[in-house]
A and B are shown apart, each in its own frame.
Chain A
Amino acid sequence: MSDPARPTSTAAETPRKSASTEAVVPRPSTENVHRRRRAHRKHRGVGMIWSALAWIVGLGFFFPVLWMVLTAFKHEREAYTDPPTLLFTPTLDQFQAVLGSGMGLTLLNSAFATAVSTACVLALGIPAAFALSLRPVKRTQDVLFFFISTKMLPIVAVIIPLYVIVNEIGMLDNIWALIVLYTAMNLPIAIWMMRSFFLEVPPELLEAASMDGASLATAVRRVILPLVSPGIAATALICVIFSWNEFFFAVNLTAVRAQTAPVSLVGFITGEGLFWARLSAASTLAALPVVIAGWIAQNKLVRGLSFGAIK
């Protein structure tokens, strides 16, 4: 209750009544102070209802995920019950079973494809974003337009030739095919996002640094890149989220050796019925890395999702 932000925020949300009191009575009389206190107390009550509602909504959105994680620690017989089982002795059996049945390999594949494609995106995207911001090429707008328009091309429009080509060059079920495609998939986002970070750097800085006699490359490396490094980290995390979660390419172009974690979940909807607890353990393992990456990047998520348009 000693939170200093509290009273101001309540005042800011106070509807008409207290605002008009403030406006009408210029000097704080004792009566006015009392009235304001009373108003505060009332609005604190209303505010608490809104806060409680916000918490309920938050927990509501999160609940299915929480349920998935809880189910992952159950025995199968506790997973299918009506009413649902809330109290149970947690077990790691499902995780053991899932990892024992080969999910470990798919997690490694996902990690490899994600890491390498993200590195490629940064290696290609950072210089490109630089050439579209601080040292702009001619027709920058056209180039930007081109990059983003590739993002608006539905993936189904290219999957058939991609399948045929990948098959022809013997790269089916090869993780490198996915790496190339994930790089292409994330490159436009990365370029637009990185460009928005470069645009925040004062252009004089680059001039000043290069005037000191340093070459352009050195100036960029020593002065500009450290400034945009939070942007690089955020861009990388966005790429990680998209490539880890990718399913369409992976399900069509991989089979056994290069199977990724999301594709490995398909096995749970076919075959000998559903094992919820085991399925939940597998889903938890598949979802966890990206959920953590997203939690870390949440302040920059909007920027990535809107291609850098919204800060």
Chain B
Amino acid sequence: MTKQSTISRAEGWRRRGPLLPALIFTIVVTQVPFAFTLYYSTQSWNLVRPGSREFIGLRNYLYVFRDSQFREVALNTVILIAGTVLISAVLGLAVALLLNRTFRGRGVVRTLVITPFLITPVAGALLWKTAMFDPVFGLVNFVLQPLGLGDVEWVSQFPLASVMANLIWRWTPFMMLLILAGLQSMPTDVLEAGRVDGAGPITLFRELTLPHLRRFIELGVVLGAIYLINTFGAVYMMTQGGPGVESANLPFYIYQRAFLGFDIGQAAAMGVITVVATILISTLALRLLFKTFTATREAA
């Protein structure tokens, strides 16, 4: 503490030196464009009508909120993120419990399970759209045939759910990895003591394992949500947001409005709204991250 306060000015700059390139670079590449987004969102600016650009204050935001498609897309985004994150967390917990035992080939099984998370998202999305969900030749219908469900056109009948299925396949391994790390950081003597006290496996799980895992599951859910806000490739490849905007999420809709509709002003306003909406979840994520950091450092 005393050392910190007696750092001289020259020493301060010497310490800051290695940080500055990264800091300046990040500010220029991320903050400056966002400032432009804020500015564009106050413009009536459509690239199709050159020379039409003018300042219109907050009217773009008004248009956006009045746009029923935007509201549907916003709801889709919430459903897609919440559904994916929650189902993946539950499945990830189950898989993590399976992989927390010692058994022959455990490393191989873990490698197999994490592969969906690694595969290029657009390749994964194409794979689900074709090989899995194709109504005639797809594997899903082939498997369901004996149950009398063999002719569902998954992607066109349930577009949002199809995209979600692909995302769950991708994000369950992520949750599994985080939860498995939690399971492995669990002190075994606590479980042992509980067992000696005569607690059954279910009680042990509910009373000891789950409370210990809580922090890891929370972190997985929040980080998962932050990564999933940027979902684009899956929607783009599987459904193109359609039919209508039934399976579009915010990134895809904003992309459509900006690059296919050329409505820069309104698309920018939607971008700003997305950011404001994510601030809440980001704050939560940051608090959890800092908490986890201090917890692991105290433990160490």
User: Which residues of A are in contact with B by a Cβ distance under 8 Å?
Assistant: 3, 5-6, 9, 12-13, 15-16, 19-20, 23, 47, 50-51, 53-55, 57-59, 61-62, 64-65, 67-68, 71, 79-84, 124-125, 127-128, 130-132, 135-138, 143, 145-165, 180-181, 183-184, 187-188, 191, 196, 199, 241, 244-245, 247-248, 251-252, 261-262, 265-266, 268-269, 274, 276, 279-280, 283-284, 286-287, 290-291, 293-295, 298, 301-302, 305-311
Bound-state Cα–Cα, A16 to B200, Å: 6
Chain B residues with Cβ below 8 Å from A145 are 286
- Which interface class (under 10, 10 to 19, 20 to 34, 35 or more) fits B? 35 or more
In the complex, are the beta carbons of A54 and B106 less than 8 A apart? yes
**Any chain A CB within 8 A of the CB of B282?**
yes
Chain B residues with Cβ below 8 Å from A165 are 33, 36
Bound-state Cα–Cα, A222 to B151, Å: 65
Contact of A64 among B102, B131, B292 (CB under 8 A): B131
17 CB < 8 A contacts A-B? A5-B102, A6-B102, A15-B201, A54-B101, A64-B169, A67-B139, A71-B131, A137-B19, A152-B282, A156-B251, A181-B29, A245-B121, A276-B130, A276-B131, A291-B118, A294-B115, A305-B178
Chain B residues with Cβ below 8 Å from A150 are 26, 30-31
Chain A residues with Cβ below 8 Å from B293 are 196, 308-309
What is the CB-to-nearest-CB distance from B212 to chain A, in angstroms, rounded to a whole number?
A: 13
In the complex, are the beta carbons of B98 and A50 less than 8 A apart? yes
Given contacts A58-B112, A298-B114, A301-B114, contact A153 B30 (CB under 8 A): yes
User: Which residues of B are in contact with A by a Cβ distance under 8 Å?
Assistant: 4, 7, 12, 15-19, 21-23, 25-26, 29-34, 36-37, 40, 95, 98-99, 101-106, 108-124, 126-132, 136-137, 139, 142, 169, 172-174, 177-178, 180-182, 185, 188, 192, 195-196, 198-201, 216, 219, 223, 226, 229-230, 232-233, 236-237, 250-251, 254-255, 258-259, 264, 267-268, 270-272, 274-275, 278, 281-282, 285-286, 289, 292-293, 296-297
Bound-state Cα–Cα, A136 to B113, Å: 39
What is the CB-to-nearest-CB distance from A138 to chain B, in angstroms, rounded to a whole number?
A: 7
Chain A residues with Cβ below 8 Å from B136 are 80, 82
Given contacts A247-B233, A262-B120, contact A130 B18 (CB under 8 A): yes
In the complex, are the beta carbons of A137 and B15 less than 8 A apart? yes
In the complex, are the beta carbons of B251 and A154 less than 8 A apart? yes
In the complex, are the beta carbons of A154 and B230 less than 8 A apart? yes
In the complex, are the beta carbons of B26 and A147 less than 8 A apart? yes
Bound-state Cα–Cα, A189 to B197, Å: 44
Q: 4 extra interchain contacts, Cβ-Cβ under 8 A, other than A61-B115, A81-B137, A160-B268?
A: A9-B102, A51-B101, A146-B23, A162-B33
